[in-house]
Structure 1
């Protein structure tokens, strides 16, 4: 009967846009991204990349320009005033809070008189992680990755060991380069065993470079014998097994062959009591697009036509053993997984409201043009005649213009101010509706006059939807950042960095600061009463003050300062009490 297919997936909230299914086979329009029709691109990634391109257009006020490329010429006049970008930036600011701090549970107990070894170890790891975060500009990296996650639904971190700097390097990638190989029966929350980072490199005529495809692959697999870099006869870099001179192969230092299982095993620094037969391999190669045909998928590109890249230390990146039992990539999802590996952007459910808002702004701009320069009808006017053509000159209305009208002549002005007022009211109505559905109250967007808020309790109630939004977004990221900090510890151990002892990594987390204004005075009074009454420890009180926004950089150092300040008072207290009986005896003698 010609019915369209009803499609429901992680990006079905964009089905209402014809540009998302413009071709005969239901694929998105080519204007969303020319690379969408590349033969190497997985079919399951087409709609995801199209959604990314569309969301980026909304963020850059280019949605009308993108729509015009599909043949809708009227869309070129569309007015976009940055509402989508404002919503994204607001959600990002509340998500991250005023500060981000690395916390290792138990580190605050290292200031006790007789601290436990676990507390001392936690304090050392916390200090090292914070030093690493400062060196790697972690807050800036988080800003870049999290804005992608809020806008597109996904963000990406890549960790790599830098032997020159002797620390782990942290990079962020566009999620459009991220292509995990997910098995059909795999749980969406499971970590993939093979991940590709791939993108096309455009042609460079000046350097004589043809368009090519670059693919970086991380994959887990069995440990193989040792390999070394080798340059082939054609000058291409490759890796070949290392022989022992008698026809056998050599294993890496620290590895051993287990004849019972027929596998090579090794012990990793973070699991000293357990043998593992799994490692992570890195492959970084390029392919000319002319060498790729329709049968070549991203996961099965011909290696005989690849040009492998070389690392700074001379190692060819062709199944290079990283000596890790995990893939050093952390995928950030903006929403809690409910059966999908990828997340949804914050604007997913209000896209139609943003379109309606842009159309209302466009109509308002057109109405304001006729209000500021109204349409005037003249009857009985005598227009000036052009002496060259003999035709009447067009009339122009300017300040000080005088029209000579004949008897019975009149001037009529088209007043569109009423329609303009209605359109402006419509714009505010749609904006409020979009803010409500996006769970970004007007007070969080800064569009509410503080004097209009009757009380602090009413303000707190109005921020309820924002609290739930931030809680859900932080919940989706909590275990991902804990995993990232665990990887940082393990890679430092694998690189034999100074100070990073072998052993299981400690649990660490990134704590985001408060996202809404807090009553700091009330929290301070609560902490003072709780610590004085003995129902709260001093460490817990300091942590509460940190969460409230007090400028306390290190809870452990703050506890030490407080206790050091109390020590003189404690020493002076016995002297004052001891002098009391002597004063009483002096009073008795005088009597």
Structure 2
């Protein structure tokens, strides 16, 4: 009966697009259109990645208001009449801004402590946090995050690549288009596991002016067993390659089987198994694996057969050379991890690796919006310049009027008349339909009007009602941040390990610790309402000052350091200081509360009372009357 097989996969939500699903007669069934997506149909692209690359290009076209060009390539001759007013781009920017929040902060658990004598763990956490924040400033981390997150939100996936830069003495962070990212996923395992081999590959076009042919470049990271040490050299073809070092001089008394191969300093050789182990600073036990880096380039016309990106023959490749002279041909990076972080936009389904674009569920609505905008533009043209019909002969002339201009007067003869075509009602209906489609898209994407910024402030409900309306957005952002939390924690772990492996002096004695990137609040806040709530809560004794300051910081008040702000507040609370003194009688405690040094007054001298007449001054000894020479007689 010619039934068509229905296949559901990570990008099957695009099957409704003829340009994507391969319905053109010249394309293979179910494969992307070759005219629209020549990159996805390149010889070296694996078949399982062709739909993914085509989906990326189609989504990027919607983001750049160029979807009509791909439709035209698929045979739609009226595609250039379509109006694209940037609705997909607006949705992408809105979702990205809410996912990232107002700010992004690197935090290490235990670093924020008010203790005057922090524990060694707290001191180490504070030191790691300070060093990571300095690295973030040097690498412009907020900008890098925005670059990656825009690709993640719009395309469904974003990719970071880390590398140690000996010149800058710090790890460098770069963002890559996911279309260049080709992980080798296990066929018999969970595709959500971390891949042990990753390729970045792209084509370099030919340049006739420089005499260069079309080339293919591939950068590969691979985890493999530790091998004997190598050095930069040249093969018989004159290519720069890595060659094994000469074996060390054997000990005459040592059996040949126990003679170790050339080793990297610090490696351990086990003759019984032939394995080589290495003790990394961040591991408790030796490891037998390391990460190798290869940067190779091929001339495309020289590639024989149909190898994919993972099976390109290395005998015809030209290897790149790093700035320090090291040839990037299986160069041992002296780390036991692949310094690549893939950031999916959504939590991938079970046993899947890829995320889903935020445009996926609303793409058909955007197509309807583009069609309605096109119809609205045509209707507005006939409304502003309506079609007019005239009948009857102009008086005294046989002139036929075809163009009506302002100020033109036509005098018609007997029985003449005029009628204008009124399309304003159709235009109004089209505009209402466009509004309905926009609301439908926002509802499907879980973006309420207050989040899109389309809510009229004069008609805004109460703060509680606005908070309830943000419920769908809360669940959306919570799920998207869940997909990112582990990825950014992994990136900061890699940064710390690269610093330790690079032996940076400022990281001497530092133990890598778990760190995370905390995203700020995304909700619109009533600052006056939050300030009133905090004031009443702190004064009423139901909120601590620390909790109140945290609420103010989340509301967007310019408070940089909560502990310093508390000291400032308390240094001016003289009434509370007086109450503390009356309650405790401890002036030292009052001084600590105000943040000042209280000087104790000197004790008052004992009072000297004047002696009454006839009283003996107790401070002076009694006198013998005979010693006064008066014989005891008084005057």
TM-based fold match above 0.5:
yes
1:151-195: CA deviation from partner (whole Å, max 9, x where unpaired): 000001011001111111000000000000001122233100100
Specify the SS of the correspondent of 2:407.
coil
8 Å CA contact 2:395–2:412 kept in 1: the answer is no
Tell me which residue corresponds to 2:21.
Answer: 21
8 Å CA contact 1:282–1:321 kept in 2: the answer is yes
8 Å CA contact 1:88–1:150 kept in 2: the answer is yes
Q: State whether structure 2 residue 199 is matched by structure 1 residue 227.
A: no
Specify the SS of the correspondent of 1:31.
coil
Tell me which residue corresponds to 2:459.
Answer: 452
Q: State whether structure 2 residue 440 is matched by structure 1 residue 440.
A: no
1:231-380 correspondence runs (5 A):
231-244=234-247, 246=249, 249-271=261-283, 273-339=284-350, 340-380=352-392
1:174-253 correspondence runs (5 A):
174-244=177-247, 246=249, 249-253=261-265
Q: 1:46 to 1:554 in 2, by over 3 A?
A: farther
Tell me which residue corresponds to 1:585.
Answer: none
Q: State whether structure 2 residue 140 is matched by structure 1 residue 137.
A: yes
1:46-67: CA deviation from partner (whole Å, max 9, x where unpaired): 0101110000110011111210
8 Å CA contact 1:228–1:239 kept in 2: the answer is yes
Q: 1:456 to 1:562 in 2, by over 3 A?
A: closer
1:71-150 correspondence runs (5 A):
71-109=75-113, 111-150=114-153
1:190-216: CA deviation from partner (whole Å, max 9, x where unpaired): 100100000111111111110010000
CA drift of 1:550 comes to 2.5
2:205 and 2:341 map into 1 onto residues whose CA distance is: 27
Specify the SS of the correspondent of 1:398.
coil
Q: 1:414 to 1:292 in 2, by over 3 A?
A: same
Specify the SS of the correspondent of 1:369.
helix
1:146-185 correspondence runs (5 A):
146-185=149-188
Tell me which residue corresponds to 2:254.
Answer: none
**Structure 1 portions without partners, runs of 5+:** 386-390, 580-591
CA drift of 1:37 comes to 1.8
Which stretch shifts more, 342-351 or 233-242? 233-242
- The answer to which structure, 1 or 2, has the higher relative contact order (CA under 8 A, 6+ apart) is 1
1:536 and 1:319 map into 2 onto residues whose CA distance is: 59
2:169 and 2:395 map into 1 onto residues whose CA distance is: 84
8 Å CA contact 1:223–1:277 kept in 2: the answer is yes
1:573 and 1:456 map into 2 onto residues whose CA distance is: 38
1:451-490 correspondence runs (5 A):
451-490=458-497
CA drift of 1:528 comes to 6.4
8 Å CA contact 1:188–1:337 kept in 2: the answer is no
Which stretch shifts more, 232-241 or 541-550? 541-550
CA drift of 1:2 comes to 2.3
CA drift of 1:529 comes to 7.3
8 Å CA contact 1:178–1:197 kept in 2: the answer is yes
Specify the SS of the correspondent of 1:264.
strand
Which stretch shifts more, 337-346 or 22-31? 22-31
Tell me which residue corresponds to 1:518.
Answer: 525
Specify the SS of the correspondent of 1:408.
coil
Tell me which residue corresponds to 1:583.
Answer: none
Count how many residue pairs are aligned between Structure 1 and Structure 2. 573
8 Å CA contact 1:200–1:211 kept in 2: the answer is yes
Larger radius of gyration: 2
